[in-house]
Chain A
């Protein structure tokens, strides 16, 4: 804690997308505050939240962008997709339409992020199993067909919420480790922050000695 806000070595940028009312903001709130907000105000435009997590002993700051779900906001929220290291794509298991729109969200996510962006499919409101409209299996299959990670969560009970955010981070971290995510590449969505440095600098590779390309 001594280094204050710089007490982490990476920043991962996430976006949360999906139809309106699927619970994107609630998921974010549950993850950052560990509380369920029943009357969570809907997102106007874009909002963000942060939390520092730990993966493999490394402190990672998640910078999470939460987008408004209403269709007409898509044009203005798209600029926040770029450079996301992780994308959480959310649907509501009790409303099939929100599931049916996934392909359009996925298209956006694929087109606007980089090929290494980890896309995580979340079926939210798993606490409302009685009103379920989308089965676990078909969503699982959709996820597999499209190479997505998948979990059903409940922002209300908190079930699996942590896992969804953490698994995404682990996957990103793994991509960095095995070199498939090139931090030098534009839009990697990851910044490496030397914990002693005054500000973030992109890592030139995990073992790079020169961590401050900005010193000119």
Chain B
């Protein structure tokens, strides 16, 4: 199916529903849910304490969905249906609840599933909970902010000319206002809309559906790629623009044209999406992670009193990076700058260390994006240590609470038969959940560092090529071999040598970790190294939330974007023969360069 969605015409409309549903079912199956029960709960007509407020919000937006054929504009029946689905999702995932924009998503989904509400709910759950990164729609849209920043980096790499031009316009506005940034990055306003509605409000419906096919099959990275592809198409219209104001004005008509299909052809767009290098993009996870922990949301601004002028916006951050990014110059994923160049650039700053990396140039050859990673590694060292300490304390405390609650829950469930299910989930999966918490948000830095051990030879080289204010020793390889049994600890103690404060943080972290069972410990280490483990943890943690075990605040960890989840085999409801036939048809149509007539 993944192949099909790339072909001209994409997945035929009659298969779309099956494909989406199959993926959603697979996700639900992994959650080991009793779907009938869930459905009953979610679509329960009897109101639920939170419903009133939710309902008001949803109803307010119902008549304002205003997109696609399924608009609910003057159809009460459709409007009621939309409301039920949105309420159902909000009940299912209380943490996310209802976010403006869901109505657009739900309307499109309802249309695809031919208005079957429970199917729509399934797909909503799959798309929002599993496909898109965690916190895309809640927690102050944190993950969305992250993706907006990541997206700017991608644009910088893929469309350097456009990016430079936009930066110039932004900087010009800044210069003219006396040097303080008051113009947010120009792309943000559009990126935000595009990503929040998954392009449903900015592309013609058929094109949007094609993009959605790719998203459900390949994951949220497609959002970023579609965005890049779109800017690529718009670039020519923008390069001549002379001011930020002019840009926004021009974008007004450009977005209308895009929505009316005057700018992008669906096949072109899909092709552009996949022409952007290997999928998944090797550096994407790193970028997302970097911004997740570097972006301090604007909330800080609001609480502080008139910090305005000094406060550093998340958006300002990219200015620091601009220098670095400029050194990268072009899309380094595709055309790695030779390490010699990189060395030359950094040598004046860090002569001795540069020599070290010179000694083993192979490391660069192996890693596709040395500069970028080095970048990221460097950024991490600047993480606010005290902040981490605070977060750690919070987590440790909650950890204890969760422990107590779990024990109670487990014993209670023994007593009541009705809760066997919950017990099962608890007993089987709670250890992982526990250490998910441990390696959670706070310990991000540690997690990253552990990762650094896992690929120590490479990372060590990057570090050594860059100025490292905090870290002095980077001879991780040898140290690691000294103590092969406990890589995590070694890594941590190694890091400790650099910064006493960090040391304390990690020491406490280590101690806390030790207090758990050894099995727990080994698992925790394992999860540090495996990208998939944390995915599972995430899911377990979600279950935990649903069971009321701990608060959603735990759920900061970035989703690993289920690289593994959907492949062709995941689509079980469709027979191989059907897929093959479909593939054939599409392929031949593609060969002939014809538009295949897929009835929509």
- Using CB atoms and an 8 Å cutoff, list the residues of chain A in contact with chain B: 5, 11, 20-21, 38-48, 50, 61, 63, 68, 70, 72-76, 78-80, 82-83, 107-108, 110-114, 184-189, 191, 198-202, 213-214
**Cβ A72 vs Cβ B60 within 8 A:** no
**Cβ B298 vs Cβ A76 within 8 A:** yes
**Which of A21, A44, A186, A200 contacts B192 (CB under 8 A)?**
A44
Question: What separation, in Å, do the CA atoms of A61 and B175 have in the docked complex?
Answer: 20
Given contacts A20-B60, A44-B196, 7 further A-B contacts (CB under 8 A): A21-B57, A38-B63, A42-B100, A44-B104, A45-B193, A47-B189, A50-B245
Question: What separation, in Å, do the CA atoms of A191 and B306 have in the docked complex?
Answer: 22
Question: What separation, in Å, do the CA atoms of A78 and B172 have in the docked complex?
Answer: 21
**Which of A44, A74, A75, A107 contacts B193 (CB under 8 A)?**
A44
**Cβ B243 vs Cβ A111 within 8 A:** no
**Which of A50, A191, A199 contacts B242 (CB under 8 A)?**
A199
Interface string of B221-255 (1 = CB under 8 A from A): 00000000000000000000011011011001000
Q: Which residues of B contact A61 (CB under 8 A)?
A: 245
**Cβ B179 vs Cβ A111 within 8 A:** no
Shortest Cβ-Cβ A-B pairs, 5 listed: A83-B182, A45-B192, A186-B180, A75-B140, A41-B66
Assuming the contacts A79-B315, A199-B246, asked whether A111 and B305 have C-beta atoms less than 8 A apart, the reply is: yes
Residue from B61, B73, B100, B306 having most chain A Cβ neighbours under 10 A: B100
**Which of B100, B173, B306 contacts A70 (CB under 8 A)?**
B100
CB of A74, distance to nearest CB on chain B (Å): 7
Question: What separation, in Å, do the CA atoms of A107 and B298 have in the docked complex?
Answer: 14
Q: Which residue of B lies closest to A75 (CB)?
A: B140
CB of A87, distance to nearest CB on chain B (Å): 14
Q: Which residues of A contact B192 (CB under 8 A)?
A: 44-46, 76
**Which of A5, A44, A50, A189 contacts B182 (CB under 8 A)?**
A189
Q: Which residues of B contact A188 (CB under 8 A)?
A: 177-178
**Cβ A48 vs Cβ B65 within 8 A:** no
**Cβ B101 vs Cβ A191 within 8 A:** no
Q: How many inter-chain residue pairs (CB < 8 Å) link A and B?
A: 160
Interface range on chain B (Cβ under 8 Å from partner): 35 or more
Quick check: is B188 within 8 A (CB to CB) of the other chain? Answer: yes
Q: Which residues of A contact B137 (CB under 8 A)?
A: 72
**Cβ A76 vs Cβ B145 within 8 A:** yes
CB of B121, distance to nearest CB on chain A (Å): 21
**Cβ B64 vs Cβ A186 within 8 A:** no
Q: Which residues of B contact A199 (CB under 8 A)?
A: 172, 242-243, 246
**Cβ A39 vs Cβ B245 within 8 A:** no
Quick check: is B304 within 8 A (CB to CB) of the other chain? Answer: yes
CB of B177, distance to nearest CB on chain A (Å): 5
Quick check: is B568 within 8 A (CB to CB) of the other chain? Answer: no
Can you spell out 26 A-B residue pairs with CB atoms less than 8 angstroms apart?
A20-B60, A39-B63, A41-B64, A41-B65, A44-B192, A44-B201, A46-B189, A47-B189, A48-B189, A70-B100, A74-B299, A74-B302, A79-B313, A80-B189, A82-B184, A108-B302, A111-B301, A111-B304, A111-B305, A185-B178, A186-B182, A187-B177, A187-B308, A191-B173, A202-B177, A213-B175
B182-223: which have CB < 8 Å to A?
Answer: 182-184, 188-189, 192-193, 196-197, 201
**Cβ B177 vs Cβ A11 within 8 A:** no
**Which of A70, A187, A213 contacts B180 (CB under 8 A)?**
A187
Interface string of B62-91 (1 = CB under 8 A from A): 011111000101000000000000000000
- Using CB atoms and an 8 Å cutoff, list the residues of chain B in contact with chain A: 57, 60-61, 63-67, 71, 73, 99-101, 103-104, 137-142, 144-145, 148, 172-173, 175-184, 188-189, 192-193, 196-197, 201, 242-243, 245-246, 248-249, 252, 297-299, 301-302, 304-309, 313-315
CB of B532, distance to nearest CB on chain A (Å): 30
Question: What separation, in Å, do the CA atoms of A79 and B240 have in the docked complex?
Answer: 26
Q: Which residues of A contact B301 (CB under 8 A)?
A: 78, 111-112
**Cβ B302 vs Cβ A78 within 8 A:** yes
Question: What separation, in Å, do the CA atoms of A70 and B140 have in the docked complex?
Answer: 10
Q: Which residues of A contact B64 (CB under 8 A)?
A: 39-42
Q: Which residue of A lies closest to B314 (CB)?
A: A79
**Cβ A11 vs Cβ B298 within 8 A:** no
Q: Which residues of B contact A80 (CB under 8 A)?
A: 184, 189
**Cβ A198 vs Cβ B242 within 8 A:** yes
Q: Which residues of A contact B99 (CB under 8 A)?
A: 70, 72
**Cβ A75 vs Cβ B297 within 8 A:** yes
Assuming the contacts A76-B145, A186-B180, A187-B182, asked whether A39 and B66 have C-beta atoms less than 8 A apart, the reply is: yes
Assuming the contacts A44-B192, A200-B176, asked whether A50 and B249 have C-beta atoms less than 8 A apart, the reply is: yes
Q: Which residues of B contact A46 (CB under 8 A)?
A: 188-189, 192
Question: What separation, in Å, do the CA atoms of A39 and B245 have in the docked complex?
Answer: 28
Question: What separation, in Å, do the CA atoms of A21 and B298 have in the docked complex?
Answer: 23
Question: What separation, in Å, do the CA atoms of A92 and B176 have in the docked complex?
Answer: 37
Q: Which residues of B contact A48 (CB under 8 A)?
A: 189, 248, 252
CB of A207, distance to nearest CB on chain B (Å): 18
Question: What separation, in Å, do the CA atoms of A48 and B253 have in the docked complex?
Answer: 12
CB of B435, distance to nearest CB on chain A (Å): 29
CB of A80, distance to nearest CB on chain B (Å): 6
CB of A141, distance to nearest CB on chain B (Å): 25
CB of B316, distance to nearest CB on chain A (Å): 10
Q: Which residue of B lies closest to A68 (CB)?
A: B100
